Structure 1
Amino acid sequence: MDDDQSVDWSCLPEELWLMIGKCFTSNIDLLRFRSICKSWRRSSLIPPLAVPPIFTPTIAASSGQLLLTPTTIYRLEPSDLSKALSTSSSSKAWLIKVDESSYRRLCLLDPCTNNRLSHFRSWYPFNSFPKGLNLLNFRFVELVKAYSISLDGSGLTFRRFHHEISGKVVTFPNFAGTQLENCKFFYVHRDGKLGFSKIGDDEWTLVDDKNSYYDDIIVHKGQLYVVDRWGTISWIDCSSSSLKLVQFSPPLCGLGKKKHLVESCGSLYVVDMYAEGDPNNSRGTYYEVVDLKVYKLDEEWGRWLDVKSLDERVFVLGKDCNFSLSARDYHGCEENCIYFCYRGCASMFNLGTSTFCSPKVFWPCPTLFNYGGCV
């Protein structure tokens, strides 16, 4: 076949489209596939409304059900057609976060706070608030898959009725295509307890009943790691039924009150948050963040390195996941900065100048909706 010869995909046998339609694991990919034409839409039925897994945790401070709502962070790039029609020569992409608890309606979220786009309605001029995003104008690249944690005391399963609580949950193993029924959910509660559960369990099981001072958990290079409030990183041995904790690093001995784990360029970092008050309290409002310090774990020598600059990288400390990005690749990102949730709003800390400010350009993304994406 000649390289310049076009292919009429609509001529493929219908049974192939049926097979292709069953292979999608991403809600966005499924919606984009169904939007091409009627025959593609007929070949892929929308599954029933997705219901997030529900557990009854023993480590929660309040009564109710713990709901795990899937969220995904995507790199959003203009499609080839959008690039051809655009007068902009920028190669930067946008960062978006999507609540994927429903196949029928996807909600855009703030990557730091998990606030819905509608939370920023007042930021837009009168009658200019975007009503939607045309998925065909963009190319989606999945960056991070996570779960937000909601405490639901009403038995309702729609996100707008949930009350988000602080804590971190990860699935293990987290390889692409792994069924949730085959995963364990590991959870660091805001009071420092570390537990795990599986779908169908009636309660959570504590991994370490002697230590209730864990701050964060992450999957790094296919292995589970947790950090406690003294900055000691341990890995969880999931090969045995006992789930033994093995110390991986020396204590950091940082004086901050909360440690955050971040993976960047293959290395493990800890962001130490200095605060007046308790960042782990149930409301998250009675504390003042006064400083952030960054440390890199030298895994070869087993020591901590004091990091003075992230260079062109940025760290994002989200409510349900932490990650690192190249500031040069995304609209609105400022290099050598740490983005985090503070009192329900996004805040930014410049590591070079040790100053805090509000990242008004980072989200919402006005250039995203001005790029022909609104419908």
Structure 2
Amino acid sequence: MADWSQMPEELLRLISRRLGTQFDVLRFRSVCSSWRSSVAPSLKPFPNGRFPMIPDDSTGVDFLCKRTIYLLGAPRSGDRTVPSGWLLKVAEDVPWGMNTLNPLSICESAPLPEDFPRVLDLMNLRVVELGHEYVLRGTHYHGYGDNYDIIDTIKVAFLCLDNENYFVLFRDVFHGKLAMFKSREKRWSIVQDMPSPYDDMISFKGEFYTVDNAGRTVVVGLDLSVTLIAQPNFDGLQTKCLVESVGELLLVYMHWDETPRFKVYKLDREEKVWNEVKDLGDRVLFLGDECTFSASAADLGACKGNCIFFIDQDGDIAASSLKIVVYDMESGIFGPIEDYAGYSELFWPPPDWIASKTSEP
């Protein structure tokens, strides 16, 4: 039998460079001491520093915070039905520490149940990273210690460009304008070309994409250049949301008329158009306050894909304690999450199979 601990160091380094998530890194490092020494604990360095505010305010500071959306699942079993997974968002908010948030909002989760295990054996769970969100938490400084009041939370798109802490942030500022921060320059620069206010932005395949009110979609380069990739062809009064799903860039068009409905489009960059998608197949889209992500219905342990999840901010579509609403693409019907088997268990509270045994479904 081969002794995996004796693999050449060069080969271990090549393998480690292809690890896709932080949990892949943790599992790789847990094999043995030689594997652990071949790769750093983190995939890429994450900046936990302070950033100048826009406009500059001598009494305030922005902190960059990272949140990761995880799907935890019981191990698959050949003779049992796989229970629904559990979605949670883990926030790494400097200097406030780590906590858990509602996966679709910026609200903190309720306290964990008393019987929740203090340690989860992640080697005996299915763990999938579904997405990340990055926010700047604007604060006001009181002038002593680390005494800050949080005054706002701003969504940003984030790119780490190499392994030397070179990163770029992309955010909105005022009147629909966008700005870019480069860590090497340590300052914000305004993107001048946006004829109408933006609706959403996303970091996709190493580039910054943004869509404005009319559906005009552009890529903003690191030199602040703007490249048109889709012509405007939408009603500017309706909300648009960008989502990455299995390597494709999707746009969800949220149309609120007498009969509210969602439409989904896929980007054709060569033709510079958004083509409508009638069926998402097994995919499920999640539209959160600060980020969007997608997942497979099979991975979620749910029986139905082709759905969109979002939070009903006004509470006028469905009466639900969490205000989480599901839009069924096939029927065109909105409904509370409780109406969809297997989906209500995805959120809160944690499922029984975690609280009792994390090694068995």
Same-fold status (TM-score > 0.5): yes
- Pick closer, same or farther for the CA change 1:301–1:289 going to 2, 3 Å: same
**Counterpart in the other structure of 1:348:** 326
| Aligned equivalent of 1:236, options 193, 216, 220 | 220
Which stretches in structure 1 are left out of the alignment for 5+ residues? 13-18, 277-287
Superposition TM-score, scaled by structure 1 size: 0.68
| Aligned equivalent of 1:251, options 232, 248, 256 | 232
**Counterpart in the other structure of 2:66:** 70
Instruction: Give the deviation of 1:330 after TM superposition.
Output: 1.1
**How far, CA to CA, are the matches of 2:229 and 2:174 in structure 1?**
23
**Counterpart in the other structure of 1:184:** 168
3-state DSSP of counterpart to 1:361: helix
**How far, CA to CA, are the matches of 1:141 and 1:248 in structure 2?**
31
**Counterpart in the other structure of 1:357:** 336
CA contact (8 A) 2:130 2:293 kept: no
| Aligned equivalent of 1:170, options 131, 134, 157 | 157
Alignment of 1:80-99 (within 5 A): 88-90=80-82, 94-99=86-91
| Aligned equivalent of 1:148, options 122, 130, 135 | 135
Deviations 1:221-262 (A, max 9, x none): 332211111111111233xx3x11111111122355321111
CA contact (8 A) 1:193 1:211 kept: no
CA contact (8 A) 2:86 2:345 kept: no
**Counterpart in the other structure of 2:318:** none
Deviations 1:326-370 (A, max 9, x none): 112213584221122343954332223331424632312425524
CA contact (8 A) 1:297 1:303 kept: yes
**How far, CA to CA, are the matches of 2:93 and 2:275 in structure 1?**
40
Instruction: Give the deviation of 1:89 after TM superposition.
Output: 4.8
Alignment of 1:307-326 (within 5 A): 307-326=277-296
**How far, CA to CA, are the matches of 1:45 and 1:246 in structure 2?**
36
1:369 aligns with 2:323: no
3-state DSSP of counterpart to 2:230: coil
| Aligned equivalent of 1:221, options 202, 205, 222 | 205
**How far, CA to CA, are the matches of 1:190 and 1:129 in structure 2?**
44
Count residues with an aligned counterpart: 332
The one-letter amino acid paired with 1:194 is: L
CA contact (8 A) 1:55 1:199 kept: no
CA contact (8 A) 2:48 2:94 kept: no
1:198 aligns with 2:176: no
**Counterpart in the other structure of 1:331:** 301
Instruction: Give the deviation of 1:55 after TM superposition.
Output: 1.6
- Pick closer, same or farther for the CA change 1:141–1:182 going to 2, 3 Å: same
Percent identical:
29
Deviations 1:38-97 (A, max 9, x none): 9x99xx9999xx973322221699x8322221122334355xxx668x984528754432
Which stretches in structure 2 are left out of the alignment for 5+ residues? 8-12, 314-321, 338-342
CA contact (8 A) 1:96 1:109 kept: yes
Instruction: Give the deviation of 1:185 after TM superposition.
Output: 0.6
